Amino acid sequence: MELVQLTANTYACLQPDLGLGYSNSGFVDLGGGLVIDTFWDLPRTAELLSKYETVTSDRPRRLVNTHHNGDHCWGNQLFAEIGTEIIGHELCAEYFMLEASPALFLSLCDTDDDELGSMAGFVHGLRRFDFHGIELTPPTTLLKGDTELDLDGTFVQLMYVGPAHTPGDLVAFLPDESVLYTGDILFNQCTPIGWEGTFENWIGALARLEALEPGVVVPGHGPLTDVGGLRGLREYLQYVRDEARAHFNAGRSTIDAAKRIELGPYAGWTEPERLAFQVDRAYREFSGTSWDTPIDTMRVFSEVAQLRDHFAASP
Ligand SMILES: [Zn+2]
């Protein structure tokens, strides 16, 4: 991981996008210190904390979780132990304990490959992380909507933009520094996964963030970018939804639709097979399913695996 200074008072800790769970974090060295997101396991989060300690003498006063997925908040306990206030949307806290548990991931990591079936690719990704010792520590300062934090006279806008990627999606924007931390509202140069939420809200969220015209954008996954990265993902989501609509209307299955969608400029994004998540979401929406209906994760992972093989076989 690499600590990068963005502006006079803002930083990002970036992990190279090696696939599942390689997320980014942010730090604002004002008002006692504000951290945006932790990492998926304790060793990585401890390293993150030590990096932030190189630029500030304070223990971070506040931590914001952009959403409840473990790769952004399973390191929370290391901050709770030093008295950091943990802030999140109330739906982030609600879904926090509904997410798959560290114990489940540890048992999956110990399962023989030949018993994993379509989950094999997912579990191979899990094995790069260390899920020992994690005590789920949800945010305790809960937001219902947009909020502003005053950090020594520099304002941070915490904007609620969910349910888009998940129910409790927050982003953090510092107008004075022109820096935006998006969490997983933005996957940059990597194919997005969407859980609970809708295309309309996600596309609307990206349009709202583009209008802020941030100079630096720290995505949830992938390298630093600017407003162009926001536009790129918005156009991808619009394209996939439109393509999926045509296949849905033609009565095709989700996997058939996903195989037929031409990726064009998006073929170079990492993990293109995650397209299966977006096609599944589109079909659920076209069928009138509500945004919070649980996803059939096993089936979607099976389609991700099929698509991976399909792309590998068709250069
Ligand atoms: Zn993530």
- Enumerate the domain spans of the chain: 2-238
Q: What is the DSSP letter of 128?
A: T
User: Which pLDDT score, from 0 to 100, does residue 99 have?
Assistant: 79
Its CATH architecture, for the domain 2-238, is 4-Layer Sandwich (3.60)
Q: Supply the pLDDT for residue 57.
A: 77
Are 244 and 256 spatial neighbours (Cβ–Cβ below 8 Å)?
A: no
pLDDT of residue 315: 63
188: phi > 0 → left, psi -120 to 50 → alpha, else beta; which?
A: beta
Closest CA to 102 of 81, 73, 65, 82: 73
Q: How far is CA 286 from CA 64, 191, 227, 240, 242, in A?
A: 34, 22, 30, 13, 11
Q: What are phi and psi of 182, to 5 degrees?
A: -100, -15
Count CB-CB contacts under 10 A for residue 58. Answer: 11
Are 109 and 60 a contacting pair, CB within 8 Å?
Answer: no
Closest CA to 70 of 193, 209, 208, 222: 193
Distance between Cα 194 and ligand 1 center (Å): 10
How far apart are alpha carbons 97 and 85 in whole angstroms? 19
The alpha carbon torsion through 122, 124, 129, 131 (nearest 10 deg) reads 70
Complete DSSP assignment for 270-310? B-GGGHHHHHHHHHHHHTT--TTSPP-HHHHHHHHHHHHHH
Interval between CA 165 and ligand 1 midpoint (Å): 9
Q: How many CB atoms lie within 10 A of CB 141?
A: 13
- Distance from the CA of 71 to the center of ligand 1, in angstroms? 5
Q: From the CA of 221, how far away is ligand 1's center (Å)?
A: 6
Å from CA of 108 to ligand 1 middle:
19
Is the whole model's pTM more than 0.85, yes or no?
A: yes
pLDDT digits (tens), the chain, 315 positions: 999 999 999 999 999 999 899 999 999 999 999 999 999 999 999 999 999 999 987 899 999 999 999 999 999 999 999 999 999 999 999 999 887 899 999 999 999 999 988 888 889 999 999 999 999 999 999 999 999 999 999 999 999 999 999 999 999 999 999 999 999 999 999 999 999 999 999 999 999 999 999 999 999 999 999 999 999 999 999 999 999 999 999 999 999 999 999 999 999 999 999 999 999 999 999 999 999 988 888 899 999 999 999 988 876
Q: Give the per-residue pLDDT at 138.
A: 97
